[in-house]
């Protein structure tokens, strides 16, 4: 791969989660009785930008209590939706398009189900949606010429 020396390209993205408690009076009967929340964990562009021109796939490694805890998403939306009862650290491994000739990068996100303030029991009754997300930038140092062309066209 021919690389552009001394050049860096970066792109913003967001990763995080959103979790919503089940309404006890209106619970889907198919859901495991111990599960208190439905949640999603995601990697996405800013303002809905499609980032699949540089992000090829994402592997979300869930807590080992989940069946098939390694979830691979090969196209947007790069997200996993599940139900559960507990908070845990999600490992998010980002794979880049082959033109990038870059190794995958791993980031971590803490899946929050409960609000920070007050006690957990009280919050369950309030049934709040809890979101937690981080803004990041991916940095490609000395990008390949083909990646450079992809990133700078359109």
Task: Compute the least distance from the CB of residue 109 to ligand SLL, in Å.
Answer: 14
* Three-class SS state of 137: strand
Among 53, 66, 79, 124, binds ligand SLL (CB under 6 A): 66
Taking the complex as a whole, how short is the minimal distance between the CB of residue 117 and ligand SLL, in angstroms? 19
Distances (CA, A) of 118 to 124, 125, 126: 11, 12, 11
- By CB under 6 A, residue 106 contacts ligand SLL: no
Among 3, 4, 57, 63, binds ligand SLL (CB under 6 A): 63
In the complex, least distance from residue 93 CB atom to ligand SLL, rounded to whole angstroms: 19
DSSP state at residue 36: -
Q: Does 32 bind ligand SLL (CB under 6 A)?
A: yes
Name which of 65 and 106 has its Cβ closer to ligand SLL.
65
Shortest Cβ distance from residue 83 to ligand SLL (Å)? 7
Q: Binding to ligand SLL by residue 87, rule CB under 6 A?
A: yes
Q: In whole angstroms, what is the distance from residue 43 CA to residue 58 CA? A: 8
Task: Work out whether 8 is an interface residue with ligand SLL (CB under 6 A).
Answer: no
Q: Which residues face 60 on adjacent strands?
A: 71, 92
59 sits in which H/E element? strand 55-61
Which positions lie near ligand SLL, rule CB under 6 A? 32, 63, 65-66, 84-88
């Amino acid at each position: 791969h021919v690389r552009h020396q001394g050049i860096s390209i970066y792109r913003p993205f967001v990763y995080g989660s959103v979790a919503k408690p089940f309404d006890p009076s209106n619970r889907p009967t198919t859901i495991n009785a111990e599960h208190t929340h439905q949640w999603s964990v995601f990697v996405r562009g800013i303002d809905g930008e499609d980032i699949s021109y540089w992000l090829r796939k994402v592997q979300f490694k869930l807590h080992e209590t989940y069946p098939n805890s390694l979830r691979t998403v090969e196209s947007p939306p790069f997200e996993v939706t599940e139900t559960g009862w507990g908070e845990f650290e999600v490992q998010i491994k980002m794979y880049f398009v082959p033109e990038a000739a870059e190794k995958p990068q791993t980031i971590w996100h803490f899946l929050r189900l409960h609000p920070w303030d007050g006690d957990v029991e009280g919050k369950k009754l309030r049934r709040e949606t809890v979101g937690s997300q981080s803004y990041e930038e991916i940095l490609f140092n000395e990008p390949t010429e083909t990646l450079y062309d992809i990133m700078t066209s359109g």
